[in-house]
Structures are given as C-alpha cells and as structure tokens.
A and B are shown apart, each in its own frame.
Chain A
C-alpha cells in the first residue's frame, strides 16, 4: 500500500468515527418503549386494539425520526405518546380479559349455584325420606312396645291367675286350720306366695307364676295334711255340742247327775238300788235317760255298775254288773237299741263319795250311763317334726276311753238283753254286804 493510500484510509476511518460520535444515543423512554413493544403480548394487542397500536407505532416512527434529526423534545413527546397509546391498548386488553374472566366466573358461579340448588333439592328429598323412615321407625318401636306390653299383660294375667289359685288354695288350707296341723307346709306355701308377689311386683311374671304354682302345691299339701285332723276336730266339736245339748236335756232329771268327761257324757243314776241289791225299784227314774238315748241314737252307750266298799270285791263286782244289766234291760224295754249298749261292772273301785258314812255309800251305789263320744284317730306325726294336738291333751286325768273288751264289758245283744237283763230278785237272806255275786250277762 502506498503512503497516500494509507493516509486516505486513516482519514476515512477517522471520518467514520467522527461521524459516529456525532450521533445522539436513544432516550431511555424510547428504548423502554421498544423493549415493551417486543413483548409477547403484542400479537394479542394487534388483534384486539389495532387502531391504538397503529397510533402507537406512528408516534414511535415520529419519535425515531425526531431522534434522527436530533429533536429531543419531539423524541420525548412522541415516545410518550407511543407509550401512552401502547399502555392504553394494554389496559383495554386487560379490561377485556377481566370482563371475559368475569363472565367465566359468573358462569361458574351460576353452575355452582345450580349444583347447589340440585344438591339442596336432593337433600330436601332425602330429608323427607328420612322423616318418613323415622316415623316408620317410631311406629315400629311403638308397635314393639305395644306388643311387649300386651305380652307382659298376658303374662301378668296368667301369673295373677296362678297367684289367685295359690291364694285360694292357701285360704282353703288356712280354713282347715293348717296353721296348727301343717305349719311347715303352710309356711312354705306362704313364703312361696310372698316370692310370687315379689316377682310379680318386680315384673318377673314367669318367676311369679312358677312361685305361685309352688305355693299352690305347698298349700295343697298343707290342706291335705290338715284336712283329716280338721275334719276329726270338726266332728269332735259337733259331738261336744251335742253332748252339751244332751247335758242340758238331762240336767232337769232329779235322780241323775250328768257331766261331760273325756270319754263322753256320763249320767250317774243314784239311789236306785238298796244295799246288796240289784233289783231296780222304780223304772221311772230311768225314763229321762231312755229318752235321751233315743233322742241321740248315734252315741254308743256303756252302762257301768258301781257299789260301795262293803263286802268282798269280787262279790261287789258281780253285784255292780248285775245292777248295770238291770239298767240296760230297762233301757232296752224302753226302746233303746240293745246293740248300742254295753254293760260293765266296776265294783267298788271307782267311788264318787266317802264310803265311811251312809250317804256316801248311797251315792257310790250307782249306775253310770256313759254316752261315748266317737273315737277320733290321733293326728299323724307331721313331717316337720311338730306335734299335733291330741284329743286328751287338755285333760290328762281323764278316764281313758272304754275299751271294747268283750270279757270285761260284754256287749249287750238285743235279744238276750230282753231276757237275760230282766230284773231279778236278789236273795234277801244274803249277807248285808255288797258282795253278792251276780252272774254277768253273757255276751
């Protein structure tokens, strides 16, 4: 390269550099606008706000032109205009976005509201179903309660019926005086009945029925246990009442002393016989006894003869038997059935008065007509170990019942009593003792 050429080149470079240094830098506003204009949102703005974008670009071009001609005021003015137009386009576009979003939100809100309305409508239907089902359930519960109540009432009625039966049986046992005769079974029945009441009051009707059945069974046992003794006692009371009536009837007889003993009504006929005699002087004194015997035919009779203590006992025994036979014969003649009479001679063994003087001996020469009460079976021993009252418990000194000993107390037979029991004369020459033997009547 030649020297002038190099100088030309250097001069040209210097000119270029000098020219470049004379160009003014772009204002910050313009650079910022150009940076904003390159944003990706530009395409959207071109579609939505083409007029404003066009104005902005026109202002930008004028700004660039002003920058090129170094008109700073114009550059700033047009840059601001371009920026304002661009920001206005952006604001309008954003407004449109917001309005679109509002529409979308409104639509969604409407959809949610509709969904809520559907849910609430479905909820209302479900609530109706629930109320219906609850009513149904309530009705079912009430029905169950009613059924349970009816069942309980039925059980209660059955239990009450069984308790009534037990109470009836218990009253029956009490009426049979089971308190005395079957206290163990009766107490068991009462305890079972109390258990039945307790169970009934507690609402345990099945237990109440079972206890009532047990009480009824125990009461029946008590009644069965007490009935024989009760019946015997009732019969005994009837006999006693009749004996008292007979005592009242015979009380007016002048020659008779009547009393009730354990074995029965004893009518003592005194002053009928002379000493050592078995001959009956006046039969009229026997008539009240005969009337009494005929008026009360169910009582068996024992005619017992007695003497005073004078003479030999064996003779007195025979004499007393003869006297008894004499009375029996008279009674038979007066219409008393002979088969209900027995005769016995007691001799001088059972005096009723002092034999040391005449009057006492006269009283001892007597005949006792005994109207025997019916014999009652003694009560059985109770299972609980109690002791039932015995017939003779009230009077231990009572004379034991007359035994039907054929030898000691021969039974009077009708046919023979009329012949063999006829009054016979006693030998007046016999010693003045009561020892005259008298042949007993053969049975």
Chain B
C-alpha cells in the first residue's frame, strides 16, 4: 500500500515537474517573442531601417508566425520560428551596421574629396602666388 502510494506520488510529482517545465518553456518563448517584437519596433527607428523594408517585413512576419505557433502551443514550430527570428534579428543588426558604416564611409570619402579639392586649390593658388612673387622679385631685381 505504501509502495503504491509512493509510486503514485512520484508520478504526480513527475507530472507536476513536467507541467512546470512545459509552462516554463512556453513562458520563455513568449518572453522572447515579446522581446523581439519590442526589438523590431526599436530597430525600425534606427538609422537606415527605411532602407531594408523587406528584411523588416520578414522579421515581423516570422515574429507573428512564432506568436501564432505560441498561441497554438506548437512548441516545435515556435522554436523553429524563433530560431529564424533570431537569425533575422542578427541579419537586420548587421545590415543596419552596414548602412551606418556605408554612411560613415561616404562621409569619410566626401571629406577626403573635399580636403583633396581644397588642397589642390591651395596648391594651385600657392603656385600662382609664387609666380607672382617670382615676377615681383624679377621686377625689383631689374629695377635695382
């Protein structure tokens, strides 16, 4: 009797633990979905986000898909969808970094071009004024 009671208790404990584990996983997935949703809104405000609408569209679609699977309690597909969402998040971050880097590179290039033009202009002006100085020096020497 007592052994039977212990066995039932053990099964019950196992069932409770399994349920708790299942609930914990579902909560963790929901947390991730929520975080990615927030992250999607935040990244949409970041510089360059307007240049990659397709990536954002895919990102939001997969978040919605994960949320749907989460509601349907299809944990396997939630996990798969979250895996793609996470990868897409990495891709969006990389693309935004690329956009910023491209902007910075363009700015650097523009600055370089501007400096090059200014330097060229300064050299040209210097050469012209050196000619003027040479002419004046010759004039003064001739006068002397």
Kindly report which residue of chain B lies nearest to residue A52, judged by CB atoms. Answer: B90
Kindly report which residue of chain A lies nearest to residue B97, judged by CB atoms. Answer: A95
Other-chain contact of B119, A94, A95, A116, A140 (Cβ < 8 Å): A116
Q: Does A376 contact B (CB under 8 A)?
A: no
**A106 to chain B: which residues have CB within 8 Å?**
108, 111-112
Mostly, the B contact residues are helix
Q: B119–A112 contact, CB under 8 A?
A: yes
Other-chain contact of B84, A84, A108, A116 (Cβ < 8 Å): A84
Q: Does B47 contact A (CB under 8 A)?
A: no
Given the contacts A84-B88, A123-B125, A133-B136, A91 and B116 also touching, CB distance less than 8 Å: no
Count of A-B contacts with CB under 8 A? Answer: 118
Kindly report which residue of chain B lies nearest to residue A89, judged by CB atoms. Answer: B94
Q: Does A150 contact B (CB under 8 A)?
A: no
Given the contacts A101-B108, A109-B108, A130-B129, A77 and B91 also touching, CB distance less than 8 Å: no
Q: A98–B87 contact, CB under 8 A?
A: no
In the complex, A383 Cα to B132 Cα: how many Å? 68
Count of interface residues, chain A, beta-carbon cutoff 8 Å: 38
Q: B109–A105 contact, CB under 8 A?
A: yes
Count of interface residues, chain B, beta-carbon cutoff 8 Å: 39
Nearest chain B CB to A138 CB, angstrom units: 11
**B87 to chain A: which residues have CB within 8 Å?**
80-81, 84-85, 88
Kindly report which residue of chain A lies nearest to residue B102, judged by CB atoms. Answer: A98
Q: B104–A102 contact, CB under 8 A?
A: yes
Q: A112–B143 contact, CB under 8 A?
A: no
Q: A84–B91 contact, CB under 8 A?
A: yes
A–B pairs, 8, beta carbons within 8 Å: A105-B105, A105-B108, A108-B115, A112-B118, A112-B119, A134-B136, A137-B136, A140-B144
Closest 10 CB pairs between A and B?
A112-B115, A105-B108, A119-B122, A91-B94, A98-B101, A116-B119, A109-B112, A133-B136, A84-B87, A115-B119
Q: Which residues of B contact A (CB under 8 A)?
A: 80, 83-84, 87-88, 90-91, 94-95, 97-98, 101-102, 104-105, 107-109, 111-112, 114-116, 118-119, 122-123, 125-126, 129-130, 132-133, 136-137, 139-140, 143-144
